Amino acid sequence: MGDSMKKPSVAALAAFCLVGCALPATDPAPAGTEKEIMSFFFSSPPATGVVDQGAKTITVGVPAGTGVSSLAASFTTTGARVTVGGTEQISGQTQNDFTSPVTYVVTAEDGTTSAYVVTVTVAPPPSAEKAITSFSFLHPAAAGKIDQDTKTVTIPVPHGTDVSSLIAVYSATGTRVTVDDTEQASGVTINDFTDPLTYVVTAEDGSEARYTVTVAPAPGSEKAIISFSILIPPAEGTIDPAAKMIRVRLPEGTALSGLVATFATTGAEVKVNGTVQVSGVTVNDFNGTVSYVVTAEDGSTATWSVRVVGTIGLLINELDIDQVGADTAEYIELYACADVDPVGIVIVLLNGGVTPGQEYARIDLSSVGSIDGGSYCVVAGSGVAVPMQSKKYTPTGWESSNRIQNGPADAVMLFDTIGRRVIDTVSYNGVLHRAVIAGETGEFDATEGAAGAPADSNAVTGSIGRYPNGVDSGQNGADFKLCPTITPGAPNM
């Protein structure tokens, strides 16, 4: 080979490689498709929006009174840019008018878009409503009457209801209800309604309405006299509620005019002959039955008859306690010197064979009925006949014989269980100055005077009788004689 075939130089080889051996070019990355709004909020006023990615909606609630015509929203997005009406949005800076819904358009890197409709809702102003619209009790069942003009609630309850511990059920338009600064819970809170209560209703805007709640128990119908006594001389009365009768027995011979009564009543007012009575103050004349008219709270009335007795004109007038043979016709004759109400009067039979003498039987005259003055009441079994104009009373068991002991020194006593005093007494065939009566304290003298009446005879027919008839000198030995003729229910002979 010739010299013209030269080997390429190193520099030539390098230049060749730079030109003919270049590396292949790299393709650019694809543009992004993300175009979401991830969060949306206002800093002033502070309010965070709710993003619904599916519906592409954003809702934001702002406080009442917020001006929404120029608000700057802060947001985060996965897109390349965000516009509103073609205007680029800068988070936290760009202001928009949110009076109507605003559409935010998010553009992805690849140029595709997504539209979010943003709705801003302004909360309504705080309500000023603060009314009680209903009020009632469950126990007892009672509905209240509400007057919205005067802000009062009146709720009637049955008479006798314990109003110190009641639970109210109510409805109100306010946000809270208090009584004396205590939060109330309808159907739960217990209150004392003895006096009117003030319910304070607070509205959303902080204003208040004050309702006065008054519980009004129905007027009562009670109209009883439950206690009665005479002040001077002190004497307690007995009350018969069924008959509306009150009886007071005073010491023998007490004048009945100008007496003062003390009493207690369940009614609202008490009058005698139209005059209001004041317990322990008002003076009345008790000669005869006095009518006490008691008026209840509901206006109804009841009349109570009061009988005050200073002298009981009832005497033991004749005794037939021993008959010839078997004692099958015993009797005790009583004589009424004046009209007598025998309720509370008993005949006490006393055994003088022991010291002190002891009660062995008693006869209650309450069921005999009134005895007219000048007439007789005979206590006897069926074997004793009395005139038609006289009363006869047969106690239980008096069909048997030997109801009255024959002595010596036994006694028959008339005793007033209301006035707790001896009305009349006679011992026979001896004296009995010390006797004990069942249910009473102390001892009683069962003989009037120094001597007793004579003994009855079982050998001849006769009786022990006052002679003259109906005369009482206070001396058993002088007043009673052995009468040969028995006269039950008639003057002694």
Judge if 282 and 429 occupy the same domain: no
Per the CB < 8 A criterion, the answer to whether 342 and 370 are in contact is: yes
**Residue 11 placed within a domain:** no
> What does the DSSP assignment read for 219-271?
PP----EEEEEETTTTEE-EEETTTTEEEEEPSTT---SSEEEEEEESSSEEE
CA-nearest of 194, 303, 312 to 253 is 312
Instruction: Please tell me the predicted confidence (pLDDT) of residue 31.
Output: 85
Judge if 352 and 438 occupy the same domain: yes
Instruction: Please tell me the predicted confidence (pLDDT) of residue 28.
Output: 67
Q: Which one of 283, 309, 335 terminates a domain?
A: 309
Q: What is the three-class DSSP state of 138?
A: coil
Backbone angles phi, psi at 478, to 5 degrees: -90, -35
Instruction: Look up the domain containing 408 and give its range.
Output: 314-483
Judge if 327 and 476 occupy the same domain: yes
Identify the DSSP state of 366: G
Spatial separation of the C-alpha atoms in residues 328 and 394, rounded to whole Å: 13
Q: Which one of 188, 217, 246 terminates a domain?
A: 217
Instruction: Please tell me the predicted confidence (pLDDT) of residue 30.
Output: 84
**Residue 303 placed within a domain:** yes
Judge if 68 and 213 occupy the same domain: no
Judge if 291 and 353 occupy the same domain: no
Total domains, the chain: 4
The one-letter amino acid at 408: P
Judge if 62 and 92 occupy the same domain: yes
Identify the DSSP state of 476: H
Instruction: Please tell me the predicted confidence (pLDDT) of residue 21.
Output: 43
CA-nearest of 317, 348, 313 to 332 is 317
| C-alpha neighbours within 13 Å on the C-beta side of residue 299 | 0
2 token code pair: 């010739």
Q: Which one of 309, 338, 354 terminates a domain?
A: 309
pLDDT tens for each residue of 331-385:
999 999 999 999 999 999 999 999 999 999 999 999 999 999 999 999 999 999 9
Spatial separation of the C-alpha atoms in residues 138 and 380, rounded to whole Å: 63
Cα dihedral 347, 348, 351, 354, rounded to 10, equals -160
**Residue 5 placed within a domain:** no
**Residue 127 placed within a domain:** no
pLDDT tens for each residue of 237-268:
999 999 999 999 999 899 999 999 999 999 99
Judge if 407 and 351 occupy the same domain: yes
CATH of the domain at 294: 2.60.40.4120
| C-alpha neighbours within 13 Å on the C-beta side of residue 187 | 3
Cα dihedral 227, 231, 237, 239, rounded to 10, equals -30
Judge if 325 and 392 occupy the same domain: yes
The one-letter amino acid at 403: R
With the C-alpha atoms ordered 269, 272, 276, 281, is the resulting torsion angle positive or negative? negative
For the chain, 493 residues long, the average pLDDT of each consecutive 10-residue run is: 40 40 57 95 97 98 96 97 97 97 97 98 95 97 97 96 97 97 97 98 97 96 97 95 96 94 97 98 96 97 96 96 93 96 96 97 96 97 95 92 92 96 97 97 97 95 96 96 96 94
Judge if 161 and 189 occupy the same domain: yes
**Residue 194 placed within a domain:** yes
